Structure 1
Amino acid sequence: MKPILPVEKYFGKLEQVYAFYGAMPTGVTVSETGRIFVCFPKWGDDVKYTVAEIDNGKLQPYPSLETNLVSPENIAQSFISVQSVVADGRGTLWVLDTAAPNFSEPIIGGAKLVAIDLETNKIRKVYTFSEDVVLPTTYLNDVRFDFRVGKAGYAYITDSSSRGPGAIIVVELENGNAFRRLDGAKSTSPDPYFLPKVEGKVLMNRNIDGSTSPFRLASDGIAISPDGKVLFFCPLTSRHLFSISTEVLRDRTIPDRDLIYHVEYWGEKGASDGMFTDAKGIVYAGDYENNSIRRILPDGTMETIAHDPTILWPDTFSIGPDQYLYVIVNQLHRQARFHYGKDLREKPYSLLRIKIGELPAPTFL
């Protein structure tokens, strides 16, 4: 009789909120009224609309199908390839458009941050970027907000370039002034010694012609403290967590070369894609190497709250008014570009949630 051997233990009560049988999603956000929005960047799948709302169990293009159709004549008002959507808790959905389908060079004038009024479902404002902010190598990834500073607040965006410098882009929302900070710094750059291992195998670029190269992506995950004073961030290909004072980031009298002395190192949290903060200052992050979700307490203590074989690449996080932590699980590591042109993803992709009993960190007083 064959003996029953010990196996790895899994834990964490996860629920599937939605199953995706079409294009692969990356971003999710839950508004203060419980509306759920997702996005689908154009990475090779048949993306019919790059931003959608999950409405009564169905995906609906948001705010309209027309907005999701690329219009060369009105490129600032149409979505090209959206990587991130963020509801700010006060009636606005923010859409971060990379304008870089398939990680191409961003279309000039197309990379943007778009504010949509959730009451009228209409675009309220569009922020575009100059060529010294969005570089030919830039890939706009994720964004966080603080409306307690400045006349209209600030946005902080990660540039997760695979070919150029990583950075945090600071945007003054009153006038759209934007500038790069920690440009090419060690804390926003891929860890050159990091060898990602997912599902027991080394993750690297494996091209259809048989050539290979290391998988390298710069600053990606970003989270902001409940008082807006601290920004947490991490490169995608790294296990390290960093933070910096947002006041220091906004202060342009401090040269960028001196910012490195203001960066705080929090240690290894696992290799993460997205991050999010709750109202008590706890940072939630995925660990895509270990099918896990972690939380980092304000004192630096790290705990795993979910470890499950279905957590196949935890991507973006959001916390809803129902005090659930929502996460997109999208099998990013199984894409064809990592497997000599063979797509190993298995549908459906999932939107999961786990009860945490906390509200999201506020963005305003």
Structure 2
Amino acid sequence: MPRFTALTLAVALAVGSLTAQAAPLPQERTLGQLEPVFAFQDAMPTGVTVSETGRIFVNYPRWGDAVPFTVAELKDGKAVPYPDAALNVETPGQPGKGFISVQSVVADGRGHLWVLDTAAPGFAAPKAGGVKLVAIDLKTNKVARTLVFPAAVLEPNSYVNDVRFDFRVGRAGVAYVTDSAPPGGLIILDLATGQAQRRLTGAPQANVDPSFVPVVEGEPLLMQRPDGSKVRPAIASDGIALSPDGGTLYFSPLSSRHLYAVPTALLRDLSASEAQVRAGVQDLGEKGASDGLEADAQGRVYAGDYEHNAVRQRQADGSWKTLVHDPRVLWPDTFSIGPDGYLYFTANQLHRQAQFHNGQDLRQKPYSLFRVKIDAQPAPTH
């Protein structure tokens, strides 16, 4: 029988320890084939959209980062001011002209890029006459028209967030817009007349879920007040998507895990009471906590899951499938489906901003634009 001295025993234990340390440990699995598209080395982006010809546009809201231009086209490996540098700054005395702080850009499938300007840099109250939708002709790269939101459909603290279009109704179509500032709500804008109406203001489905506490990267996401106290982020109706036939509008507050749906005909019906519209909203259950939403031509709905570094897909039967789960998906924000059958989305580390971490900015550049193959086309708008 072999004899073990204290020395040989110590050596054996040390070797065993090193072997155990060197052995790979189980890790959380990734899902999906995530493809990097663009790396942002400067300001933090939010929105992305891909035109029917494959051009990619992004936007940068003026939240605090240095933002020399708030709308850009990704071209030849660079972000280039779009349509030019001059339009990307506020026009003194003309808030309805130059871009003040853009939250969303959407290509409409008909040769135009629509720019949604919050006119609320730093989440301040929107500048009077500055909240607008601007259509840019993608052939000429010139502004085709500007629609300023009527003051009557805006709250004092309104923050218009995202927009979807349907050109099959009315004389020139309609735009459906989410307002993310509590009490939340939806705005329906007639693109022919510029007239608008507001729906679901303060409705529980469009407002902040009072019981919602997001947990991101293992920590509760709390905002610090000037007095040092902390509160949950309160962001109301945010993500929005339109069904392929234009009959159903999907929406969700950012401060919630629920997906809601409402018939668009009911939203547009001027004779319908607010009580009738609220009664027509359907709770489709939990989907995870998401920022942006999108729908494809097959009627499937896409949502981020910023608590789990994931992107999810709602099937025709109402079930959810995880398309992507990857540690690089740090706060999936806005979604767009390109003509190439890919789902594009930004990952901008929104949750790592200083207001969530005792004044310390934990974001690490670059921010990312990713895509994942879905073999589907965008939901049609016309």
Length-normalised TM-score, structure 2: 0.93
- 1:294-313 alignment to 2 at 5 Å? 294-313=312-331
The superposition leaves residues 190-228 of structure 1 with CA deviations (integer Å, 9 ceiling, x where unpaired) of: 110011000000001024652211211000000000010
1:73 Cα deviation after fit:
2.7
Query: 1:342 maps to which residue?
Result: 360
Query: 1:117 maps to which residue?
Result: 137
Amino acid at match of 2:192: E
Question: Of residues 215, 229, 242 in structure 2, which corresponds to 1:211?
Answer: 229
Query: 1:263 maps to which residue?
Result: 281
Query: 2:70 maps to which residue?
Result: 50
1:316 aligns with 2:334: yes
* Percent of matched pairs sharing the same residue: 57
Mapped to 2, the partners of 1:211 and 1:195 lie a distance apart of 16
Query: 1:70 maps to which residue?
Result: 90
Q: Is the 8 A contact 1:151 1:174 kept in 2?
A: yes
Q: Is the 8 A contact 1:207 1:341 kept in 2?
A: no
1:86 aligns with 2:106: yes
Mapped to 2, the partners of 1:184 and 1:323 lie a distance apart of 37
Q: Is the 8 A contact 1:209 1:340 kept in 2?
A: no
Greater Cα shift, 66-75 or 16-25: 66-75
Greater Cα shift, 241-250 or 206-215: 206-215
Mapped to 1, the partners of 2:32 and 2:255 lie a distance apart of 25
Q: Is the 8 A contact 1:208 1:340 kept in 2?
A: no
Q: Is the 8 A contact 2:150 2:195 kept in 1?
A: no
Structure 1 unmatched runs, 5+: none
1:154 Cα deviation after fit:
0.5
Q: Is the 8 A contact 1:221 1:234 kept in 2?
A: yes
Amino acid at match of 1:172: D
The superposition leaves residues 268-316 of structure 1 with CA deviations (integer Å, 9 ceiling, x where unpaired) of: 0000000111110010110000000000012211100110000000000
Question: Of residues 230, 242, 248 in structure 2, which corresponds to 1:230?
Answer: 248
What do you get for the CA RMSD once the two structures are aligned? 1.0
Greater Cα shift, 269-278 or 68-77: 68-77
Query: 1:327 maps to which residue?
Result: 345
Structure 2 unmatched runs, 5+: 1-16
Q: Is the 8 A contact 2:44 2:65 kept in 1?
A: yes
Mapped to 2, the partners of 1:214 and 1:277 lie a distance apart of 29
- 1:153-164 alignment to 2 at 5 Å? 153-161=173-181, 164=182
Provide the secondary structure at the position in 1 that maps to 2:355: helix
Amino acid at match of 2:278: I
Amino acid at match of 1:241: L
Amino acid at match of 1:344: L
Question: Of residues 298, 302, 322 in structure 2, which corresponds to 1:280?
Answer: 298
Mapped to 2, the partners of 1:183 and 1:135 lie a distance apart of 9
Amino acid at match of 1:159: D
Mapped to 2, the partners of 1:78 and 1:200 lie a distance apart of 41
1:74 Cα deviation after fit:
2.5
1:5 Cα deviation after fit:
3.3
Mapped to 1, the partners of 2:275 and 2:154 lie a distance apart of 19
Number of residues of Structure 1 aligned to a counterpart in Structure 2: 362
Query: 1:175 maps to which residue?
Result: 193
Provide the secondary structure at the position in 2 that maps to 1:247: helix
Length-normalised TM-score, structure 1: 0.98
